[in-house]
């Protein structure tokens, strides 16, 4: 029996190479080894201010980008979180067994509070409980995520333990599975790459736009002039080379930068070529899917049907264990 994987991504409007290197590329590599369930987690996305008229498009956009990136629908289940009401039902039950202090110490909550001063809603605080429900509803054992989600997963394990101790063994304690890529920094060279920071390269960025973004991306801040030797260890562009360029190119960049044989633009041109080559087939597949929305909607509907069954079973067990009459 294959172990079961669950992971999710928010329909934030754009999937960027931080998502790709930190999570999605890993998901694709796991397709044959595990039974895989992936969700577009739209209920997580409504915890920040958004336009309701745009959300449906963003959900479809996320699904299309995931399929274009390589999540073959024949090899995994892909669905939209809000289509399975049991996610929010289980979240309520986890609300009732989780101390507020556990939620308040989450670093993502603290960050989001500062980023959304005009909208610090309860959903920002209880966000990890909805994540716990996503994972535990399907009794997933393994959760491939980027390292920014590790603290949330520790809490998910704690919730599973607490529920099991109080009501009898029901849930596995899911383990995180991290990709080799650590937290990918944005084009400012500093903050985590994210849509909200507007420091991202989209996974299906058009060629011109890709170069426009790379051209002005921050490199080694101490390298002020072309003839100054640079320090690749602190340069975010060099980090990106390690994911897209060949060993020879990486050595060429490292040596050339340290000796000032090459300038930042030479280094960026090589990165541009490699990222662009990597993205080209994804962009093309995405354009095909743009013309075939019905296919994508069908994939999501099949996913909904498959997940519904499992979600119903788990909730029947949970309701019985917590003692409600249903
Ligand atoms: P989200 O939508 O922010 O990101 C999706 C995945 O991309 C990873 N990621 C990154 N990795 C490296 N560098 C970055 N700059 C970067 N930005 C994002 C994230 O770690 C994540 O794996 N809460 C989750 C979504 C979620 C979920 C779940 C995940 C909801 N329910 C259940 C796993 C299991 C989130 O906000 O991801």
- What average pLDDT is seen over the chain? 96
Structure tokens at 1: 């029996």
Note whether 78 and 303 are within 8 A (CB). yes
Residue 267 CB-density burial (10 A; 0-12 exposed, 13-18 middle, 19+ buried): buried
What total number of domains does the chain contain? 2
Asked if the structure places residue 108 within a domain, the reply is yes
In a domain, 274, yes or no: yes
162 with 219, same domain: the answer is no
CATH number at residue 154: 3.40.50.620
Same domain, 223 and 82: no
Is 195 an active-site residue?
A: yes
Query: Of the residues 77, 148, 200, 307, which should be mutated to test ligand 1's pocket, given the most ligand atoms within 8 Å of the CB?
Result: 148
Q: Assign 276 a pLDDT band (cuts: 50, 70, 90).
A: very high
Pick the atom of ligand 1 nearest to 192's CA.
15
Q: What atom of ligand 1 comes closest to residue 16's alpha carbon? A: 17
pLDDT tens track for 184-201: 999 999 999 999 899 999
Is 139 among the catalytic positions? no
Q: Choosing from 195, 213, 258, 321, which is the catalytic residue?
A: 195
- Give dist(CA 218, CA 157) in Å, integer: 38
Residues 15 and 143 occupy one common structural domain: yes
Whether residues 37 and 79 share a domain: the answer is yes
| Whether residue 15 is found in the same domain as residue 140 | yes
314 falls within a domain: yes
Domain-located, residue 305: yes
What DSSP string runs through 216-282?
T----TT--STTS---GGG-HHHHHHHHHS-HHHHHHHHHHHHTTSS-HHHHHHHHHHHHHHHHHHH
Same domain membership, residue 149 and residue 275: no
Q: Are residues 141 and 59 in the same domain?
A: yes
List the Cα angle 40/301/93 in 5-degree steps. Answer: 55
pLDDT tens track for 313-326: 999 999 999 999 86
Q: Report CA(144)–ligand 1 centroid distance (Å).
A: 9
Q: What is the pLDDT averaged over residues 164-176?
A: 98
| Stronger pLDDT, 240 or 13, i.e. the higher one | 240
**Phi, psi at residue 314, to the nearest 5°?**
-60, -40
Question: Same domain for 63 and 47?
Answer: yes
Query: Is the separation of the CB atoms in 180 and 146 below 8 Å?
Result: no
Q: Residue holding tokens 């991202």? A: 200
pLDDT of residue 326: 67
**Three-class DSSP category at 131:** helix
Q: Note whether 177 and 226 are same-domain residues.
A: no
Query: Would you state the pLDDT for residue 7?
Result: 98
Say whether both 16 and 155 belong to one domain.
yes
Percent helix, percent strand, percent coil in the chain, to nearest 5: 60, 10, 35
Asked whether residue 142 is domain-assigned, the answer is yes
Q: Mutation test of ligand 1: which of 20, 146, 193 has the most ligand atoms closer than 8 Å to its C-beta?
A: 146
Predicted local confidence at residue 56, as pLDDT: 97
Task: Confirm if 154 and 131 have CB atoms less than 8 A apart.
Answer: no
**Mean pLDDT of the region 150-169:** 98
State the distance from the centre of ligand 1 to the C-alpha of 23, rounded, in angstroms. 7
Pick from 160, 148, 46: nearest CA to 107: 148
Boundaries of domain holding 271: 207-287
**CATH code of the domain in which 283 resides:** 1.10.240.10
Reference 113, options 159, 47, 50, 55; nearest CA is 47
Residues 276 and 318 in one domain: no
pTM to 2 decimal places? 0.96
Same domain assignment for residues 148 and 262: no
Q: Is residue 167 part of a domain?
A: yes
SS (H, E, C) 264-289: HHHHHHHHHHHHHHHHHHHHHHHHHH
Asked if residue 59 belongs to a domain, the reply is yes
Structure tokens at 260: 């000032």
Reference 134, options 189, 68, 206, 79; nearest CA is: 79
Query: Which pLDDT belongs to residue 180?
Result: 86
């Amino acid at each position: 029996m294959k172990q079961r994987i669950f992971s999710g991504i928010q329909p934030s409007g754009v999937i960027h190479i931080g998502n790709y290197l930190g999570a999605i590329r890993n998901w694709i590599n796991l397709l044959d080894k595990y039974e895989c369930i992936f969700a577009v987690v739209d209920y997580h996305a409504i915890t920040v201010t958004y336009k309701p008229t745009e959300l449906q498009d963003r959900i479809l956009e996320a699904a299309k980008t995931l399929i274009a990136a390589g999540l073959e629908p024949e090899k995994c289940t892909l669905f939209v979180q809000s289509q399975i009401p049991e996610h929010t039902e289980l979240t309520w039950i986890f609300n009732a067994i989780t101390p507020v202090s556990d939620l308040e110490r989450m670093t993502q909550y603290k960050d989001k509070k500062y980023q959304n001063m005009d909208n610090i809603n309860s959903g920002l605080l209880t966000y990890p409980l909805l994540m716990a429900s996503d994972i535990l509803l399907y009794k997933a054992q393994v959760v491939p995520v980027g390292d920014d989600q590790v603290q949330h997963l520790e809490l998910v394990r704690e919730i599973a333990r607490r529920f099991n101790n109080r009501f009898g063994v029901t849930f596995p304690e899911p383990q995180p599975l991290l990709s080799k890529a650590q937290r990918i920094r944005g084009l400012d060279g500093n903050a985590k790459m994210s849509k909200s920071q507007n420091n991202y390269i989209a996974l299906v960025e058009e060629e011109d736009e890709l170069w426009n973004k790379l051209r002005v991306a921050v490199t080694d801040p101490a390298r002020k002039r072309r003839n100054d030797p640079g320090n690749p260890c602190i340069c975010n562009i060099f980090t990106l080379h390690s994911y897209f360029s060949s060993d020879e190119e990486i050595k060429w960049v490292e040596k050339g930068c340290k000796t000032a044989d090459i300038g930042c633009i030479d280094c960026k041109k090589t990165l541009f070529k490699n990222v662009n080559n990597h993205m080209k087939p994804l962009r093309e597949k995405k354009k095909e899917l743009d013309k075939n929305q019905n296919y994508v909607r069908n994939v999501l509907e099949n996913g909904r049907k498959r997940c519904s069954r499992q979600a119903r079973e788990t909730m029947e067990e949970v309701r019985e264990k917590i003692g409600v009459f249903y």
